[in-house]
């Protein structure tokens, strides 16, 4: 066993030897050290934390993550998300299609809460897939050192990196993603040629179902078009993303809150969508979901979570934003976990003013089962309570 250090992480020869010998590096952030594993991505070896071991690391360790049961992650681990540490990859199970059958209408919005009873939570919706990739990329984490350093180039890089060791529908997830390159006039011809190459590959399937790609991008605006609506994506002015009128109406109904919130200053609107293309180069949206983030790309669900995030960032705190995944909004989760409090991290809960008894019982159970300290804000009082102090 060798301790995980920057020197070891950069030594591809030694990592290859350890990988072949099935040896596991150890993270020295705790005593005894926490076991990790080596993943092989192409010809490259990287050190990763073991499944469900994030909470075993020290809160100030880069490998730390809050216990999965505090967010929606705990509901999909082991079912929709299956990690094979021996083979070094994670298999994802989607509840959305990655192929377009000719004549079938688009599936419209994804991530909606149905009014019927459905026990199936073992697959990822489009929205929960976005939550997972955002979390894997570390974009729901914040430290003061990140201020001013998150650009679309950085966001794209980390999202693509997070998909490298993931499989979905039997194929590499990274090969099924379209995340626009940072656009510049100087490189517009090269960038457009990359898009045309993708269109060519997708359009070459003349027989059978047409393969779909997954778009992740920042929405600039939705505008009416001749046959429905067009979604304009920042950094992709060369692509026409078309939505059927019916699809847009369902989207506006399901994600109207996110669309309206994005009109506020400093708010970003992120989309994840499946799409097909044809020889004309037009991208037809099949299924779509939306998510709001702050200007620093930290996701939030409502103005209260946004206020909490602003309060923590203004006070230069270190925290991880909880992601909902498939979890219903009627169920509580830790909105964030402060990792800079002693002697343990603090889970922060936001209680809606209209919360019923069922929500309160579930929240009390979640807090009592957790080994973390807790902080609560009942939004009936608009001003949040004082945050627990950071450790020195």
Return the pLDDT at 121: 61
Between the CA atoms of 114, 298, 269 and 172, what dihedral angle is there, to the nearest 10 degrees? -70
What pLDDT score does 307 carry? Answer: 96
Cα 239 off chain centre by: 23
pLDDT for 114 equals 46
The beta-carbon contacts of 313-318 under 8 Å, at least 24 apart in sequence, are 313/142, 313/147, 315/387, 315/390, 316/144, 317/142, 317/144, 317/387, 317/390, 318/60, 318/142, 318/143, 318/144, 318/390
Contact 340, 348 (CB under 8 A): no
Mean pLDDT, consecutive 10-residue stretches, the chain (392 aa), reads 69 89 89 88 83 85 90 93 82 93 57 44 91 96 95 97 92 95 94 91 74 96 93 96 95 96 96 89 93 98 96 97 94 96 95 94 95 95 92 81
d(CA 204, CA 230): 24
* pLDDT for the residue 117: 36
Predicted local distance difference test score (pLDDT) of residue 50: 82
Between the alpha carbon of residue 342 and those of residues 32, 203, 374, the distances in Å are: 20, 56, 12
Cβ proximity of 10 and 47 under 8 Å: no
**pTM (2 d.p.):** 0.90
Please report the pLDDT score of residue 280 as a whole number.
Answer: 74
Dist. CA 172–CA 177, nearest whole Å = 9
CA distance 253 to 392: 47
Contact 293, 270 (CB under 8 A): yes
CA angle, 267 then 243 then 273, to 5°: 60
Angstrom distance (rounded) from CA 130 to CA 136: 10
For the chain, the structural domain boundaries read 65-303
């Amino acid at each position: 066993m060798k301790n995980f250090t920057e020197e070891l992480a950069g030594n591809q020869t030694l990592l290859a030897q350890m990988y072949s010998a099935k040896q596991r590096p150890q993270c020295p952030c705790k005593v005894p050290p926490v076991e990790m594993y080596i993943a092989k991505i192409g010809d490259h070896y990287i050190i990763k934390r073991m499944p469900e071991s994030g909470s075993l690391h020290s809160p100030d360790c880069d490998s730390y993550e809050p216990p999965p049961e505090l967010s929606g992650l705990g509901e999909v681990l082991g079912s929709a998300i299956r990690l094979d540490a021996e083979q070094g990859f994670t298999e994802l199970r989607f509840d959305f299609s990655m192929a377009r059958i000719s004549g079938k209408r688009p599936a419209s919005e994804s991530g909606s809460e149905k009014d019927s009873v459905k026990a199936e939570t073992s697959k990822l919706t489009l929205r929960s897939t976005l939550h997972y990739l955002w979390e894997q990329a570390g974009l729901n984490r914040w430290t003061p050192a990140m201020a001013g350093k998150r650009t679309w180039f950085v966001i794209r890089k980390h999202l693509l990196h997070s998909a490298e060791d993931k499989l979905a529908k039997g194929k590499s997830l990274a090969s099924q993603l379209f995340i626009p390159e940072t656009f510049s006039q100087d490189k517009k011809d090269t960038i457009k040629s990359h898009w045309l190459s993708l269109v060519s590959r997708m359009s070459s399937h003349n027989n059978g179902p047409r393969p779909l790609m997954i778009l992740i991008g920042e929405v600039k605006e939705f505008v009416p078009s001749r046959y429905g609506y067009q979604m304009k994506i920042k950094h992709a002015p060369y692509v026409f993303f078309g939505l059927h009128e019916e699809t847009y109406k369902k989207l506006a109904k399901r994600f109207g809150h996110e669309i309206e919130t994005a009109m506020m200053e400093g708010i970003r609107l992120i989309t994840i969508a499946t799409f097909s293309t044809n020889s004309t180069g037009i991208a037809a949206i099949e299924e779509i979901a939306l998510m709001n983030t702050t200007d620093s790309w930290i996701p939030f669900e409502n103005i209260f979570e946004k206020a909490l995030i602003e309060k923590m960032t203004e006070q230069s705190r270190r925290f991880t934003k909880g992601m909902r995944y498939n979890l219903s909004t009627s169920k509580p989760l830790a909105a964030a976990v402060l990792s800079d409090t002693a002697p343990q991290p603090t889970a922060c809960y936001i209680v809606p003013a209209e919360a019923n008894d069922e929500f309160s019982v579930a929240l009390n159970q979640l807090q009592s089962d957790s080994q973390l300290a807790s902080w609560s804000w009942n939004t009936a009082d608009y001003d949040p309570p004082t945050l627990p102090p950071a450790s020195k």
